[in-house]
Amino acid sequence: MKRIMVFTKPMMGLAVALIAIMTVACQARNAEAEMPTYTGVAPLSHSAKPRLTWHRTLRAGWQEARRRNVPMVIYISTDHCVYCDAMKRDTWCDETVEQRVSQDFVAILLTPQENQATLGRIDVSAYPTTLIGVPEGKIVGHRTGYQPAAAVHQFLSEALKR
């Protein structure tokens, strides 16, 4: 009897841990954002020349969007954010995403470190956050969390249909 009790307690703890892991995994699967996967590629260095031009203020990007009459992709990121860095490395540096955003959108990168007043007026619940805005000044699309290139393409397509 003692032997069964010793065996049962560790098994119960393992079962509880397994249920907890499965619950978290199911919640993550149902979440809007996808977890980034490490590809072994080092983050871009600051010396690398970006191919996609990012406006660093909402005002500058909005003026450009009105001039070109195209929507804005507003990427809200923060320092020391693993998912923000992964999206910069994997999604925004994807050649097809870069090309599409350059042709059909104005890219705006906002951070609380540089754009505190602007972001104080926007409800940012998590980083990264990606918004689509139209030149008239309305937000028409919103995604929270890491978005892989395929998800961004779908998001951009949905925005252009509006």
Tokens of 56: 């660093």
Residues 6+ apart with CB under 8 A from 72: 61, 62, 65, 105, 106, 107, 108, 131, 132, 133, 134, 135
* pLDDT score at 122: 84
Residues 6+ apart with CB under 8 A from 50: 44
Is pLDDT at 55 greater than 90 in this prediction?
A: yes
Average the pLDDT over 7-21 and give the result: 39
Nearest to 158 by CA among 132, 130, 124: 132
> What is the DSSP secondary structure assignment for residue 114, as one 8-state letter?
T
pTM: 0.70
Is pLDDT at 62 greater than 90 in this prediction?
A: yes
Residue with tokens 């956050």: 129
* Cα torsion through 65, 66, 67, 68, rounded to 10: 50
pLDDT interval class at 43 (50, 70, 90)? very low
* pLDDT score at 14: 36
The predicted-structure confidence for 105-154, as pLDDT tens digits, reads as follows: 999 999 999 999 999 988 888 999 999 999 998 999 999 999 999 999 99
Is pLDDT at 38 greater than 60 in this prediction?
A: no
